[in-house]
Amino acid sequence: MAIFVFSVNFGLSKTGQAANVRYSVRDSSPATRIAATNTGIAEKLDAAGTTGTGSYSAIVSIDDSGWTFPVEVTYTITGQTGVGVVDTIYYSPSAVPATVTDKTGFALAITPPTAIQIRQEMDNNSTDLNAIITNIAAIKSDTAAVKAKTDNLPADPASNTQLKAMAYVLPVGQAKPAATVYLSTGATSPDLLMTLRDSQQQPIQIVGGSTITFTLKSATGTVIYSSSTGCSVEWANGGIIRFSWSTAGISVPAAGNYTMQFNVNGLLYPIEGSIPLVTR
């Protein structure tokens, strides 16, 4: 059995004709399969459900096993000559299932790829995927380089102590040799009092915990003294470096030309100019 839907629209001029509308079916053999009948005919109403539309339909279950398709359906209105509509149905409704529940009786023209084949295609020929993989590798490399830098940052940037230390002990005149300076005659046991300055002649502030080494050489380059012993910082006087000959355990050198430099946390500060020996 097949479910046929016979439907025709005669227009608004033909409303109220449900009792008079007829349909008949003839197949392509040709043979009349359904003589003119009104079975199941009903008029469709408007959206409000109150007024006819001139459109008529019937839903009928029919055994069409002996029919030869396509078939012609003729619609008429009894008592009205010259009114008729012919429609064609090309296939039996039973030949087209409403839902395909399995593949029995069906076959694809091209066998679909397997999951492995899809993955291989993406791995080998997807330019976008390959580009993403390449970019990820580059990002990992850049991230590692950034991490290598950030791992060396101070552990306490919030307190800024280490950052201050970095700023205060920047090298000054590091590329030039220690200049020859003249030490004038002073008192019996004078100390050297020095304020380190940067290339802009701004005082360099020394932070607590700094390692300070004082080196004194003769004009010919002979090292007279080189040690951290004798070096201290006078915080009350703005971070002036004091070098005490007596604390270092050496004699005050005679007046003359010398080369001197301070090494603060590994950074060299050569001393230039005429430095008087003073006591405090």
Q: What is the 3-state composition of the chain as percent helix, strand, coil, each rounded to the nearest 5?
A: 20, 35, 45
CATH code of 2-95, in short, is: 2.60.40
What pLDDT, on the 0 to 100 scale, is given for residue 67?
94
SS (H, E, C) 85-152: EEEEECCCHHHCCCCCCCCCCCCCCCCCCCHHHHHHHHHHHCHHHHHHHHHHHHHHHHHHHHHHHHCC
Burial classification of residue 99, based on how many CB atoms lie within 10 Å of its CB (0-12 exposed, 13-18 middle, 19 or more buried): exposed
CATH classification number, 168-275, choose in 2.60.40, 1.10.3470, 3.30.2000, 2.40.160: 2.60.40
Q: What is the mean pLDDT of the chain?
A: 77
**How far apart, in whole angstroms, are the C-alpha atoms of residue 27 and residue 70?**
6
Query: Which helix (H) or strand (E) covers residue 163, if one does?
Result: helix 161-168
Q: Which residues pair with 4 in a beta bridge?
A: 60
pLDDT in tens, 21-44: 999 999 999 999 999 999 999 999
Residues listed for the chain: 280
pLDDT in tens, 81-140: 888 999 999 999 877 655 666 666 667 778 888 999 888 888 777 777 667 777 888 888
Burial classification of residue 83, based on how many CB atoms lie within 10 Å of its CB (0-12 exposed, 13-18 middle, 19 or more buried): middle
Whole-model pTM?
Answer: 0.36
Neighbours of 255 (CB within 10 A): 13
Q: Where are the domains of the chain?
A: 2-95, 168-275
Mean pLDDT per 10-residue segment, the chain (280 residues): 92 94 95 95 92 94 93 94 91 71 70 88 75 81 83 56 37 38 51 71 73 84 88 73 83 75 78 43
2-95 and 168-275 agree in CATH topology: yes
Amino acid letter, residue 246: S
Burial classification of residue 155, based on how many CB atoms lie within 10 Å of its CB (0-12 exposed, 13-18 middle, 19 or more buried): exposed
**How far apart, in whole angstroms, are the C-alpha atoms of residue 200 and residue 141?**
40
**How far apart, in whole angstroms, are the C-alpha atoms of residue 53 and residue 93?**
26
